[in-house]
Amino acid sequence: TGHFTFDPGFTSTCSTESQITFIDGEKGQLLYRGYPIEQLAEQSTFLEVAYLLVNGELPDDKQYSKFQNTITHHTMLHDQIESFFQGFRRDSHPMAMLTGTVGALSGFYHDDQHTTEDEARDIAIHRIIAKIPTLAARCYKYRVGQPHVYPDNSLSYAGNFLRMCFAVPAEPYVVNPVIEKAMDKIFILHADHEQNASTSTVRLAGSSGANPYACMAAGIACLWGPSHGGANEAALNMLREIGTVDRIPEFIARAKDKNDPFRLMGFGHRVYKSMDPRATVMRKTTHEVLGELGITNPVLEVAMELEKIAMNEEYFVSRGLYPNVDFYSGIVLSALGFPTDMFTVLFSLARTTGWISQWNEMLEDPSQRIGRPRQLYTGATERDYVPIGKR
Ligand code: CMC
């Protein structure tokens, strides 16, 4: 095939240069703009990390308050977006609503299409980072049949989101600081992960000069699948199905059986062949949150035991299969009160910042061209058309 390389699943193809996120899968290292994820998760805030991902440097006081001010001035949705929600069945999957309504923003902000202009790109970046929590919370409220709660710009990014999800007009709502910190950490941990499937989708969609909100919708669609963002939902469902510690060996045996398609959800990663550093932070957060809420969850017991057994099995060790971030995040999110079908919505909310940073980096590059992979054709060779009666 001439000078082309055949690389299905892109296991060895670098599709772009990037200065945003670095992963060393062997060492289990993840850096955003050079900063270790563990330090950012423990010491920073999501909004500061968003600034870092977009701009390349941590903000000083003045830059931070300007950024915060800009974001909080874009948190409202156009009222007509509400009719998009009303068009969905009440039991629609929240990811269906999120894909549709984020895509619909392209109809409201078509000027942001001028992706070659810095100012238009800046506005698109601010708008999407600001509006995604409002949209994600609206998906939740629509699903549970409660009225929309408007954003409160005096709260933190995570605090405002939790309030939009869990406040009801009849009662005052106070954000628990431990829960708020946990939510913020989950957002930081999921904010970017270099050229994963959804980010590559966003870059490919954006490479044609498409509207940025339409590109974000493409990313959300890709993230939905159980091999990607849907893994935490799948992991929690699996832990619930296992149910008790004594049933673990049966599921381990199934995961090892090559005639059984079953996989241990929340285990393994395309890039990490040692412990996912996000999983280490998430494991600690899980204990903090369950401790704060006074929850003794049998699912957590199953998770801890499963992790212990799997990590001592030759099958998992020799393949570099360790628990990934999604193994724990589902347990925390359900303790926070989110139904499982909201998990990927929360992942999308956090990853939007990474997607828009990557989209922007791509378009800032003067050598940027449309993405156009090639293929290895394995179909019929040339043949003549035969009229239908003669086939
Ligand atoms: N349980 C049992 N065996 C597994 C698992 C698993 N979870 N994951 C991989 N393997 C085996 C696989 O059968 C193969 O074995 P062999 O070499 O004997 O055929 C070997 O490990 C390599 O697997 P692979 O499918 O070639 O690896 P991949 O890089 O294509 O897939 C993965 C990575 C994450 C899709 C996969 O590990 C998986 O399906 N895990 C479960 C789903 C999951 O937790 N996904 C979340 C990923 S992290 C969040 C995100 O990026 O969105």
Check whether domain 231-336 has CATH 3.40.140.10, yes or no: no
Rounded distance, CA 24 to CA 276, Å? 10
Q: What pTM was computed for the model?
A: 0.92
- Of 184, 188, 191, 156, residue with least CA distance to 288: 184
Q: Which residues of 15-48 are buried (b: 16+ CB within 10 A; e: fewer)?
A: ebebebbebeeeebebbbbebebbebbeebbbbb
Query: In sequence order, which residues have a C-beta less than 8 Å from that of residue 187 and are 6 or more positions away?
Result: 46, 49, 157, 158, 346, 349, 350
Axis crossing angle, helix 177-190 with helix 277-293, rounded to the nearest 10:
160
Report pLDDT for 113.
62
Whether residue 222 has its Cβ less than 6 Å from ligand 1: no
Rounded distance, CA 100 to CA 32, Å? 29
Query: In sequence order, which residues have a C-beta less than 8 Å from that of residue 184 and are 6 or more positions away?
Result: 45, 46, 156, 157, 158
Residue among 192, 269, 276, 341 flagged as catalytic: 269
Residue 311 carries which side chain, given as an amino acid letter?
Answer: M
Distance 282 CA to ligand 1 centre (A): 20
Distance 388 CA to ligand 1 centre (A): 46
236 SS3 class = helix
Distance 268 CA to ligand 1 centre (A): 5
Report pLDDT for 25.
92
Report pLDDT for 115.
67
Cβ atoms 266, 324 nearer than 8 A: yes
Instruction: Name the residue at shortest CA distance from atom 9 of ligand 1.
Output: 268
Residue among 184, 192, 326, 341 flagged as catalytic: 326
Report pLDDT for 197.
96
Whether residue 254 has its Cβ less than 6 Å from ligand 1: no
Q: List, in sequence order, every beta strand (DSSP E) within the chain.
A: 21-24, 29-32, 35-36
Whether residue 136 has its Cβ less than 6 Å from ligand 1: no
Instruction: Name the residue at shortest CA distance from atom 35 of ligand 1.
Output: 227
- Cα 222–Cα 223–Cα 224 angle in degrees, nearest 5: 90
Distance 150 CA to ligand 1 centre (A): 40
- Of 13, 19, 44, 45, residue with least CA distance to 32: 19
203, two tokens: 């870059």
Q: 192, 202, 227: which to mutate for ligand 1, most atoms within 8 A of CB? A: 227
Q: Which residues of 200-228 are buried (b: 16+ CB within 10 A; e: fewer)?
A: bbbbbbbbeebbbbbbbbbbbbbbbeeeb
Rounded distance, CA 386 to CA 391, Å? 6
> What is the number of the ligand 1 atom nearest to the C-alpha of 327?
44
Rounded distance, CA 20 to CA 52, Å? 9
Distance 325 CA to ligand 1 centre (A): 14
Report pLDDT for 374.
92
Report pLDDT for 231.
82
Q: 37, 270, 276, 322: which to mutate for ligand 1, most atoms within 8 A of CB? A: 270
If phi > 0 it is left, if psi is from -120 to 50 it is alpha, else beta; for residue 268 that is left
Whether residue 265 has its Cβ less than 6 Å from ligand 1: yes
> Is 326 marked active-site?
yes
Whether residue 23 has its Cβ less than 6 Å from ligand 1: no
Instruction: Name the residue at shortest CA distance from atom 31 of ligand 1.
Output: 270
Instruction: Delimit the domains of the chain by residue range.
Output: 17-225+342-364, 231-336
Whether residue 253 has its Cβ less than 6 Å from ligand 1: no
Report pLDDT for 112.
61
In CATH terms, 17-225+342-364 corresponds, of 1.10.580.10, 3.20.20.210, 3.30.830.10, 3.30.930.10, to 1.10.580.10
Report pLDDT for 264.
92
> Is 193 marked active-site?
no
Report pLDDT for 336.
92
Spell out the per-residue pLDDT of the chain, length 391, in tens. Answer: 468 899 999 989 999 999 999 999 999 999 999 999 999 999 999 999 999 999 999 999 999 999 999 999 999 999 999 999 999 999 999 999 999 999 999 999 986 666 668 888 999 999 999 999 999 999 999 999 999 999 999 999 999 999 999 999 999 999 999 999 999 999 999 999 999 999 999 999 999 999 999 999 999 999 998 888 888 888 889 999 999 999 999 999 999 999 999 999 989 988 898 889 999 999 999 889 988 888 877 888 898 899 888 889 999 999 999 998 888 888 899 889 999 999 999 999 999 999 999 999 999 998 889 999 999 999 999 999 999 999 9
- Of 357, 329, 282, 250, residue with least CA distance to 20: 357
> What is the number of the ligand 1 atom nearest to the C-alpha of 319?
21
